[in-house]
Structure 1
């Protein structure tokens, strides 16, 4: 199954003519079904719930890997700087449970999901997870009634929750591509025209950004900035990268596009003796770590290993820098 998934993803980037013939009819069926479902919500035929505070959806039209979680973190921090107390709602993909769960200071990735736990630790704001975003939002407000705004991490296609603003994170590299298609022939959940109905588009990365003017009138640009590599579960202890040339260094990533992480490390001058790519949201244990003097992991993977000290495991932190000010845009639109 993993091999088939890799073949399909490769086809999305470099279309195979044979696969296109086979998969294009399925994409048209998917597009029709998605449009009908959205129209049913817009017409009131399917129930859509309104929460008592404004809701901002940060999502994507790609099937994962667009970089929305760093954007959510940056947006929440920007709102905090403006004195606006926000909360975060997420599905909590990859967690062990299935009910509504409001994160606590000692929550684990198994209870909350890796991305919600990461957001909770990065921002310090209240977070709730659940497949029903409206129910999760109600639980979050019941536990933290002083919240003035809810940000949903993903959920653009979750129309059961009404939203006041929609922000779509879109890869800049895809801005100029004309061969993008819907699932399964392509990696899109909705057609490119869906971008026009959102309130803003955040382009992730710089390559291709010059071709994005046609996508939306409110375009923001996001780039990832790396921080100092620190020891896992020890923020104050940093890695002396000048010593790495004498050591065996490996990297592990359980994210949607692990090569991005590996290339970032290589781009900073770190020679990797081994790389290990795990499925997105995969459970991470000691058995998954290579034998090496130094093992480098992502922040998303680090929250899965938060139970103790790991002497040879180090974490590369990243944050999104968004230009212009996305928090100012949101606050202005919502008048808060």
Structure 2
């Protein structure tokens, strides 16, 4: 078992013998993270400002917590309200180190699977780069009409100045005792939640929101939303216009493949739709895919994040399950109002 796997198990079920070894390292990590943030706040390290509004959608956890569906919902919702939106991302797992603006020729290997999925889902300009400021500059050069940039991930990328911080927090962790890396899975302490502009409890309920507010003593004026995921109509790989209802595939031999952070959620969603897979294959998050990775079955269902990695192949047996994030209260409406107030100031 790899060291990373051992640590992830420890984060979920703390091992008594590891805690005394990792706790001092977590305190050192906490001190360094606090010092870095303080250095930006005091101006010792310089932030770079863009000529348009910036909202960061991030997390204090290491690993996936459901940020990308929230980013997609914000981009689509703001665009529908007439805001010219763009998205910047690091493009985790990509091979290229260049700053790239996505287009119809972009490949997941070069720009990252999540940015490419966002570009296809939302239709808004997307740029990737390790330095988000440089990615945003490239996006604005190509699309000077952009009024608001969403930074997908990058809460700890303090070099980019931001107007609003939106943190996604998994409902499963609301009542758990959490620590910083490497003793736990947090990049920043829970006290960081007091300084953000909005919180989204992913896969959560109103009870989870109330529990998080109480447990962390969050200020009453802080917007805290519960998000839920809603599945759309399945569509054939590379042919989004060819859709079917879940019931039309019922009774067939179905396999499921997911190279995402929490694949069990995807498999459970299929079962909830009445499409229990006979085979479930989970690969590491952001793993590259080829047809050889697909199980032999009458129907193979994959995520939209994985669909962008198989776009070059003709695979008529592969269907894609799209998902949308919905928040209560409406996060899109909140950010739109914040942006309008800023514009009127």
TM-score greater than 0.5 by the shorter chain: yes
The aligned residue for residue 175 of structure 1 is 174
SS of the residue aligned with 1:213? helix
Report how far residue 322 of structure 1 moved.
1.5
Q: Distance in 2 between matches of 1:17 and 1:245?
A: 46
Contact kept? 1:202, 1:219, Cα under 8 Å: yes
TM-score normalised per structure 1: 0.95
Report how far residue 96 of structure 1 moved.
1.5
Q: Distance in 2 between matches of 1:84 and 1:240?
A: 32
Contact kept? 1:225, 1:320, Cα under 8 Å: yes
Q: Distance in 2 between matches of 1:169 and 1:40?
A: 24
Residue-by-residue CA offset, 1:116-168 (whole Å, 9 max, x unaligned): 01111111000100000011111110110000011100000000101111010
- Range with greater deviation from structure 2 (240-249 or 318-327): 240-249
- Range with greater deviation from structure 2 (127-136 or 203-212): 203-212
Report how far residue 333 of structure 1 moved.
2.2
Q: Distance in 1 between matches of 2:39 and 2:246?
A: 55
1:267 and 2:276 correspond:
no
The aligned residue for residue 124 of structure 2 is 125
Q: Distance in 2 between matches of 1:148 and 1:8?
A: 41
Which of 195, 204, 209 is the equivalent residue of 2:193? 195
The aligned residue for residue 36 of structure 1 is 35
- Call closer, same or farther: CA 1:135–1:204 in 2, change over 3 Å: same
Unpaired runs of 5+ in structure 1? Answer: none
Report how far residue 264 of structure 1 moved.
1.3
Which of 233, 241, 251 is the equivalent residue of 1:236? 241
Q: Distance in 1 between matches of 2:248 and 2:151?
A: 41
Report how far residue 241 of structure 1 moved.
4.3
Contact kept? 1:173, 1:209, Cα under 8 Å: no
Q: Distance in 2 between matches of 1:240 and 1:169?
A: 30
Residue-by-residue CA offset, 1:208-251 (whole Å, 9 max, x unaligned): 33412234421112110001111111123234644656433211
1:211 and 2:211 correspond:
yes
The aligned residue for residue 67 of structure 2 is 68
The aligned residue for residue 46 of structure 1 is 45
TM-score normalised per structure 2: 0.92
Report how many aligned residue pairs link the two structures: 334
The aligned residue for residue 307 of structure 1 is 312
Contact kept? 1:252, 1:276, Cα under 8 Å: yes
